[in-house]
Structure 1
Amino acid sequence: MSIQALGSPPKWAVNAVCAESTSEFFYPDEQDYITASAAKWACRRCPVRDECLQWALENDEQFGVWGATTPKERRRIKRTAGER
């Protein structure tokens, strides 16, 4: 799901770097490490990166790069948080 497909996107989304890009860029194939790295780089300069990551974690987003993290990285964050 992309921010544009949310219907009523969160307020922070209007300031997101990905709002200026095609959503496909932020949804690379799981094995496409080059595109994933480029998307993560774009996210790192985003002014709402933290809000984006928090949203993805809270909504269990399973696809795409959100808050400069891949699905695998978000699963690790959730698993680590659950261990505390």
Structure 2
Amino acid sequence: MRELFLLEPDAEDGGWQERALCAQTDPEAFFPEKGGSTREAKKVCLTCDVRNECLESALMHDERFGIWGGLSERERRKLKKKAV
């Protein structure tokens, strides 16, 4: 299995979360109801400086819900399958 991302020290301790744009946004946008739009959350992620750390953390912790690093749970599953 090849590595998806380079692990940065900040990604392990969660320090990236303090710099995340989503911390300054309505959290409900990142956890839409089933079938709800993910557009607004993904738009925030596009300009976030810690997007990669967020995605890496979600993949490492097998996050099952929400938008993390600009990807939905389904998109993260596809990414993990490609890496195998």
TM-score by length of 1: 0.81
Q: For residue 72 of structure 1, report the CA deviation from its aligned partner.
A: 0.4
Q: Answer 1 or 2: higher relative contact order, Cα 8 Å, separation at least 6.
A: 2
Q: Which runs of 5+ in 1 are unaligned?
A: 1-8
Choose which of 52, 56, 59 in structure 2 pairs with 1:57. Answer: 59
- Identical positions, percent: 40
Q: How many matched pairs?
A: 72
TM-score norm. by structure 2 comes to 0.81
Give 1:18-57 correspondences, 5 Å limit: 18-33=22-37, 36-57=38-59
Q: CA-atom RMSD, angstroms?
A: 1.1
* Greater fraction helix: 1
Q: Distance in 1 between matches of 2:80 and 2:70?
A: 15
Q: What is the letter of the counterpart of residue 29 of structure 1?
A: E
**Structure 2 stretches lacking a partner, 5+ long:** 1-12
